[in-house]
């Protein structure tokens, strides 16, 4: 198992009372609530936290992209990844991901990712996403063409990285007379590609195609969904004729570790609930603009609505396995059990969430790195050595329950 420290970089200093006058922290909340003095301190604090992650032994650090929101002040993960490129030495830098359909000129992303890959001498992990629905309101991009543009932008970027240039690109959405990338990526044929998703059959079918074999990353979902989609990825790969190794599967989840379960819940509660119920929450029209999802999936709208527009308490999130929160022993056991059950090769703990302040975040990072990671490295090394991964027979995964640490 490998560990990547994931950060959303929320605007944690948001005036929550003032922000409560708006139904969501996305698109509508006026940017007068952003104080550049506070924002500058937050950027530097968050970058320090990621750099600390490398020093404490994380395999990688991860950034992502959201627009016009207090949920995350990284409209360009290129900027944060670039800032990390020269301040880190060994950690992978994962951009999870760049919202490629939002760009009218996706070649800029091919260039920027290639630059970071060169500067870091091959430490870049590239991620491609469509961006969540709100991005299409913020950015103006037509959601009806989101899927088309995602696929065409992806194909263009891969071609730019792998095909000898110059060549012409002309499909439906993008037209370039000369595609001839300087620089070419450092890693050949291109950086590893991860696909973050909230769970979608379309995405899994695409990512698990034998021509791609991209690492599938389930983000902030109930444990039940994580298991379902990770298994679906293995099954899909098997159906397509290849065996997905553990490192093709990843899971991003907020985690908080303290001395005791009680202390962890007490310290994390307000900050987690701010993350979930203040920063993430948005109306369904913003989350799922017309065309962003297929008409077929929009029929299940009630389900999505309940998940995102209602409030969730810390207790419920813990119960649903959307948040690991507890003592070192508890968190070890929870992630260990997930490993035994799902053989997920990449854990991406989000150790700052919502309004979690600097001190608690640093303590959380230190506990996770110092006490959780070493335990899990030993556990996963020993189980990998002694048992075969349930790669091609995912249905046996649940039968390993017996070998879980005692619950």
Partner 1 sequence: MSFTSRQVSIAGSMLHYRIAGPETAPTLLFLHGAGGADSALGVLAGFTDRWQVIVPDHPGFGASADPEWLDTIHDAAYAYLDFLEALDLRQVHLVGSSLGGWLAMEIAIRDASRLARLTLIAAAGIRPGDIPTGDLFMWSPEERVRHTIADPQLAEKILAMPQTPEQAEIALRNHFTTAKLAWEPRFFDPHLDKWLHRLRLPVQVIWGEQDRLFPLELGRKLAALMPAARFDVIPGCGHVPTVENPALLSALLREFQGSAP
* Residue ranges of E strands in 12-123: 60-63, 92-99
* Burial call 265-282: b when 16+ CB within 10 Å, e when fewer: bebbeebbbbbbebbbbb
- 38 vs 172, beta carbon nearer partner 1: 172
DSSP state of 243: P
Contact 244, 313 (CB under 8 A): no
The answer to whether 101 contacts partner 1 (rule: CB under 8 A) is no
Segment lying near partner 1 (by CB under 8 A), choices 30-38, 70-78, 116-124, 294-302: 294-302
Kindly tell me which residue out of 76, 118, 142, 400 binds partner 1, with binding defined by CB under 8 A.
Answer: 142
Reported as type and span, the H/E element at residue 398 is none
The answer to whether 199 contacts partner 1 (rule: CB under 8 A) is no
Residue for token pair 């990688």: 60
The answer to whether 295 contacts partner 1 (rule: CB under 8 A) is yes
Binding-site size for partner 1 (CB under 8 A) equals 18
The answer to whether 298 contacts partner 1 (rule: CB under 8 A) is yes
Kindly tell me which residue out of 283, 304, 366, 375 binds partner 1, with binding defined by CB under 8 A.
Answer: 283
The answer to whether 302 contacts partner 1 (rule: CB under 8 A) is no
* Burial call 68-78: b when 16+ CB within 10 Å, e when fewer: bbbbbbbbebb
Give me the least distance between CB of 312 and partner 1, in Å please. 21
The answer to whether 30 contacts partner 1 (rule: CB under 8 A) is no
Q: Which two tokens stand for residue 323?
A: 């948040």
Kindly tell me which residue out of 33, 238, 284, 304 binds partner 1, with binding defined by CB under 8 A.
Answer: 284
For residues 205 and 198, give the distance between their C-alpha atoms in angstroms, rounded to a whole number. Answer: 14
For residues 299 and 35, give the distance between their C-alpha atoms in angstroms, rounded to a whole number. Answer: 40
The answer to whether 291 contacts partner 1 (rule: CB under 8 A) is yes
The answer to whether 305 contacts partner 1 (rule: CB under 8 A) is no
The answer to whether 306 contacts partner 1 (rule: CB under 8 A) is no
Sign of CA dihedral 25, 27, 32, 38: positive
Give me the least distance between CB of 293 and partner 1, in Å please. 10
Segment lying near partner 1 (by CB under 8 A), choices 77-85, 140-148, 210-218, 231-239: 140-148
Where are the alpha helices (H) located in 140-215, listed in sequence order?
A: 146-162, 201-207
Q: Which residues contact 38 (CB under 8 A, 6 or more apart)?
A: 11, 13
Give me the least distance between CB of 174 and partner 1, in Å please. 14
Give me the least distance between CB of 304 and partner 1, in Å please. 14
The answer to whether 290 contacts partner 1 (rule: CB under 8 A) is yes
Can you give the binding site for partner 1, defined by CB under 8 A? 136-137, 140-145, 283-286, 289-291, 295, 298-299
């Amino acid at each position: 198992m490998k560990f990547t420290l994931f950060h959303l970089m929320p605007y944690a200093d948001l005036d929550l009372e003032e922000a409560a006058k708006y139904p969501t922290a996305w698109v509508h909340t006026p940017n007068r609530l952003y104080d550049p003095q506070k924002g500058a301190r937050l950027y530097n604090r968050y970058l320090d936290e990621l750099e600390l992650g490398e020093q404490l032994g994380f395999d990688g650090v991860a950034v992502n992209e959201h627009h016009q929101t207090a949920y995350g002040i990284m409209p360009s993960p290129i900027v944060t990844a670039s800032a990390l490129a020269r301040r880190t030495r060994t950690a992978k830098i994962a951009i999870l991901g760049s919202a490629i359909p939002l760009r009218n000129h996706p070649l800029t992303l091919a260039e920027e990712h290639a630059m970071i890959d060169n500067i870091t001498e091959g430490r870049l992990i590239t991620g491609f996403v469509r961006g969540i629905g709100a991005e299409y309101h913020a950015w103006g991009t037509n959601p009806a063409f989101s899927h088309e543009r995602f696929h065409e932008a992806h194909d263009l970027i891969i071609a730019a990285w792998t095909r000898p240039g110059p060549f012409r690109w002309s499909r439906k959405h993008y037209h370039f007379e000369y595609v001839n990338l300087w620089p070419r990526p450092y890693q050949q044929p291109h950086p590893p590609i991860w696909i973050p998703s909230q769970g979608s059959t379309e995405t899994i079918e695409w990512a698990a195609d034998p021509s791609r074999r991209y690492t599938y990353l389930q983000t902030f979902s109930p444990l039940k969904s994580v298991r379902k989609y990770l298994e679906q990825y293995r099954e899909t790969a098997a159906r397509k004729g290849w065996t997905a190794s553990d490192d093709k599967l990843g899971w991003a989840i907020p985690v908080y570790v303290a001395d005791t379960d009680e202390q962890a819940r007490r310290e994390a509660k307000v900050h987690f609930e701010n993350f979930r119920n203040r920063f993430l929450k948005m109306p369904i029209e913003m989350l799922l603009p017309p065309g962003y999802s297929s008409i077929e999936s929009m029929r299940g709208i009630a389900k999505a609505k309940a998940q995102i527009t209602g409030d969730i308490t810390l207790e419920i999130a813990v119960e649903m396995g959307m948040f690991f929160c507890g003592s070192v022993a508890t968190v070890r056991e929870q992630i260990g059990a997930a490993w035994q059950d799902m053989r997920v090769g990449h854990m991406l703990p989000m150790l700052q969430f919502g309004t979690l302040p600097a001190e608690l975040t640093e303590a959380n990072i230190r506990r996770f790195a110092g006490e959780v990671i070493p335990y899990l490295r030993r556990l996963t090394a020993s189980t990998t050595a002694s048992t075969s991964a349930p790669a091609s027979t995912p249905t046996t995964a649940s039968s390993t329950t017996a070998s879980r640490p005692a619950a």
